[in-house]
Chain A
Amino acid sequence: MDMETKKLSLSGSSGIVSKYSYIVVFLIIFAVYAATSSSLTWSGVMNIFRHSAIIGIIALGMGLICLTGEIDLSVGSMLAMVSGFSVVIYNITGSIFAAFLFAVAFGGFCGLINGILVGGAEMPAFIVTLATMLIFRSISQYVCQKLPKELIGGGSSIYKLFTQKSSFQAFYQIGNGKAATLPYVGLILALMTVLFVYLSTSTKYGKKVYAIGSNQKGAVMTGINVPVTKISVFVIAGMLVGLGAFLWIAMNASADPATTGTSYEMYAIAAVVLGGISMSGGKGRVLGILFGAMSYTIIDKIIVALKMDSLINDAIKGVILLAVIMIQLEGSKIKGRLKRRTNEV
């Protein structure tokens, strides 16, 4: 009994740092940003918030998928396709609400396809979503070429919102407006984060997601319907991509099928991992994803502030990702090795 208590308290004290490592990483990166940018302003900070919104919302869905031990590589292409088609829907109906509804529903549908193949047919998620990644992007580009010009807003290879529609200003305002200096899209990210933190920590559904990632066989024997839960996770992730797509067109008034959302799957996975969620599933906190996503946006800002070539951007992000993972995974091993060495001496 005594032994157990002691072991626990020991792992507890050293566990806190690794548990909240995402905040440490975020603070370090933020400190670098504060030091490099000539003037740290409130609106500058709010800009970080704004620019993290879409990747953050997508990463929340990715986080849920990763918690079950699966992965979704198709989110970037899905973003391109859903945002493109939503532009068309808006151009036809002129209704913001219709565009929103379509984006979320169509995103959910795309997620359903992934989910049925992964959860229902038990195909490997990496391969399934690699395939749908190719499919979604290709359809998005093909349709853009084939649709009548007026539906895609008059452009040639890009989906553009009709600026003449009466509700256009309101639409654009959603993506670029502020409420008491807080950008709407940032608020939506915050709201979504709160919702998903609640979902993952305090609901029966959330615990099922963790259980599947922790031990799938055990989850089955507990009575959890693993296929249905996995499908639902992919659908939720798809709906979040849909929400992201809606915000994308609200912010940019257009969607380019060739470039919108490229590498977003990688950024989303990186944000999830940076947030401390294990890729093998079952471990990690959803709150970390918010910090993971914001950390990445700040890196962009640092590079701008230092007037560095933006092409070096991904190299720096990659190195930071490697460093964080190394600390998270190897930290305990290195500590153990140091301890043993001091013992021997």
Chain B
Amino acid sequence: MKLLQMEHICKSFDGVPVLKDVSFSVEKGEVHALLGENGAGKSTLMNVLTGISPKDSGTVAFEGQVCDSMTIHKSEKMGIAFVHQELNLFNDLKVYENIFLAKEYTNKFGKLDKKRMRKEAGELFERLGVKIDPDAMAGDLKTSQKQLLEIAKALFFHAKLLILDEPTTSLNNEEVAHFFEIIRRLKKDGASFIFISHKMPEIFALSDRYTVFRNGEYVNSGKIAETTPEEVTKMMVGESYSAEDVYEPREAGDTVLEVKEFSGAGFRKVNLTVKRGQIIGLTGLQGAGSSEFMQGLFGAARGTEGELLVFGKSIPKNSIHKAMKSKVAMLASNRKENSVLADMSLLENMYLAEHTLSALKFHIHKKEEDRAFTSYRELLNIKMQDSSQPVTSLSGGNQQKVFLARWLNTKAEILLLDNPTQGIDVGAKTEIYKLILGLAREGKTILINTLEIPEIQKVADYCAVFYEGSIVKLLRHEEISETAVMLYATGSAR
């Protein structure tokens, strides 16, 4: 018998169908990968399953029991747990308080039985092989620990089916391995998982079966062992996908960026020389300092010592404005937090950065701005209707293009891209790689920080590997491989 059987599910928002007669099932004790680009309907289906939003038609059966009007409370009670992408933890509460929130043990006078809660939380962590102190503040945990805590929370209340929505985005490779080990162990104990991810290697390492959605429709499902990443990717994006190698070697120009013994919060004594038109990939394990270094270059993270030379001129540290004036731009990571101005239109989101440089020309010439926007729209192939629509109405990939336009509009020569393909679907990713290479061909100098090594392989001329805050190795394009990078990133080779 199947653990979960969803059949002929339809769902539309304001008359726009987002799920068109889709079916989906999960066996007991399997990890089932749910695949599809952003907007394919994965999240909507999960919201239907957990009762966050009601379905229009179709049937849902869990453990053979048909449930018609699902609510969040009901789904929890049946043993379905949604481990969200954004962690729903209370940072100001202790770990065990987070687990037992609203389900606390009490004695007969209503006083909390902290001892018992602490003990049981500790036992659970031991069983899972997780090293978390039940008395620690949730806010003090590492992101990976938070993710595990979320899962532990679900397991404590006997969840039979756990939905993991991109659980590894904030984990480093080592943590991912540990995380997968735990999932495998739980699977053996009979738990089932729905695994939503954009990372093919992880999907193939962990999952037993897969289901692919495209544009709200069911495409295919089958055993992971009987398919390949290329095949699955093709199903996700349709016919348009090609795994072609987009990289081609280019001539580098004069030196445009020189970093000398640059130290700051999270990185130390970094030396780097970059020539015009080059693309340099920065990587390392989470916390190795590559992201902090990039933010330091832009003045967004504290830099304490060393010298930054842009076009041969020394620029002051710790000032975003001065960096921008020196033609440095940074596309920040965590789009929602650092880039999206949710109340503002596409056009406004695009022109704001340039306006801080030309603040004294007070008046906004809307026609000129619109003209500039149209040219970026064509250059970057932004899919949109009107420049006055809110930025939040675009998909992640198109939003990211708008922010790329924001920085191109400042006439920046050195582009710092911090995790530029975060939360972007496969098709759009390839498009972004092509854009990056195109910009470099036109003479822009690009630094790209990412934990995904295949990404660096696709675009970078050189790969700077960070270990404990410093660059330990500069790999040439043809030397870049997952093993080579990991060797240096883990400090195994120097």
- Indicate whether A and B interact: yes
- Give chain B nearest CB distance to A134 CB in angstroms: 31
Pair B343/A282 contact, Cβ less than 8 Å: yes
Task: Choose among B339, B355, B363, B393 the residue that contacts A218 (Cβ–Cβ < 8 A).
Answer: B339
- Give chain B nearest CB distance to A296 CB in angstroms: 26
Pair A215/B340 contact, Cβ less than 8 Å: yes
- Give chain A nearest CB distance to B95 CB in angstroms: 27
Number of interface residues of A (CB under 8 A): 32
Which residues from chain A contact B285 at a C-beta distance below 8 Å? Answer: none
A202 in contact (CB, < 8 A): yes
With A1-B383, A7-B13, A217-B338 as contacts: A224 and B352 at CB distance below 8 Å: yes
Binds A, one of B14-22, B24-32, B109-117, B250-258: B14-22
Pair B344/A205 contact, Cβ less than 8 Å: no
- Give chain A nearest CB distance to B367 CB in angstroms: 12
A207 to B394, CA, bound (A): 21
B342 in contact (CB, < 8 A): yes
With A210-B343, A218-B340 as contacts: A8 and B320 at CB distance below 8 Å: no
A8 to B388, CA, bound (A): 11
A296 to B411, CA, bound (A): 48
Which residues from chain B contact A221 at a C-beta distance below 8 Å? Answer: 300, 320, 330, 332, 338-339
Pair B355/A207 contact, Cβ less than 8 Å: yes
Which residues from chain B contact A214 at a C-beta distance below 8 Å? Answer: 341-344
- Give chain B nearest CB distance to A197 CB in angstroms: 14
B359 in contact (CB, < 8 A): yes
A2 to B366, CA, bound (A): 27
B199 in contact (CB, < 8 A): no
- Give chain A nearest CB distance to B3 CB in angstroms: 28
Which residues from chain A contact B14 at a C-beta distance below 8 Å? Answer: 6-7, 10
Binary interface profile of A, 136-155, with partner B (CB < 8 Å = 1, else 0)?
00000000000000000000
B385 in contact (CB, < 8 A): yes
Pair A218/B341 contact, Cβ less than 8 Å: yes
A-B pairs with beta carbons under 8 A, tally: 101
B378 in contact (CB, < 8 A): no
Nearest neighbor of B18 in chain A, beta-carbon distance:
A3
Pair B343/A222 contact, Cβ less than 8 Å: no
Binary interface profile of B, 384-403, with partner A (CB < 8 Å = 1, else 0)?
11000100011000000000
A342 in contact (CB, < 8 A): no
User: Which chain A residues in 1-21 approach chain B with CB under 8 Å?
Assistant: 1-8, 10
B356 in contact (CB, < 8 A): yes
B417 in contact (CB, < 8 A): no
A325 in contact (CB, < 8 A): no
Nearest neighbor of B215 in chain A, beta-carbon distance:
A3
Pair A283/B343 contact, Cβ less than 8 Å: yes
Binary interface profile of A, 204-216, with partner B (CB < 8 Å = 1, else 0)?
1101101101110
- Give chain A nearest CB distance to B301 CB in angstroms: 11
Pair A224/B356 contact, Cβ less than 8 Å: yes
B54 in contact (CB, < 8 A): yes
A213 to B363, CA, bound (A): 20
User: Which chain B residues in 298-315 approach chain A with CB under 8 Å?
Assistant: 300
A221 to B389, CA, bound (A): 22
B361 in contact (CB, < 8 A): yes
B321 in contact (CB, < 8 A): yes
A118 to B33, CA, bound (A): 49
User: Which chain B residues in 321-338 approach chain A with CB under 8 Å?
Assistant: 321, 324, 330, 332, 337-338
- Give chain B nearest CB distance to A205 CB in angstroms: 7
- Give chain B nearest CB distance to A110 CB in angstroms: 25
User: Which chain A residues in 191-233 approach chain B with CB under 8 Å?
Assistant: 202-205, 207-208, 210-211, 213-215, 217-225
- Give chain A nearest CB distance to B8 CB in angstroms: 18
Which residues from chain B contact A307 at a C-beta distance below 8 Å? Answer: none
Which residues from chain A contact B353 at a C-beta distance below 8 Å? Answer: 222-223
Which residues from chain B contact A207 at a C-beta distance below 8 Å? Answer: 344, 348, 351-352, 355, 364
Nearest neighbor of A199 in chain B, beta-carbon distance:
B362
Task: Choose among A4, A208, A213, A283 the residue that contacts B393 (Cβ–Cβ < 8 A).
Answer: A4
Residues of chain B having any CB pair with chain A under 8 Å: 13-16, 18, 54, 300, 320-321, 324, 330, 332, 337-344, 348, 351-353, 355-359, 361-364, 366, 383-385, 389, 393-394, 406
What 10 A-B pairs come out closest when comparing CB atoms? A282-B343, A214-B343, A204-B355, A223-B356, A214-B341, A3-B16, A221-B338, A222-B353, A223-B324, A221-B332
Residues of chain A having any CB pair with chain B under 8 Å: 1-8, 10, 202-205, 207-208, 210-211, 213-215, 217-225, 282-283, 340
List 16 A-B residue pairs with CB atoms under 8 Å apart, sorted by A's residue number: A5-B385, A8-B389, A202-B363, A204-B355, A204-B359, A204-B363, A207-B351, A211-B344, A214-B343, A215-B340, A215-B341, A218-B338, A221-B320, A222-B356, A222-B406, A340-B54
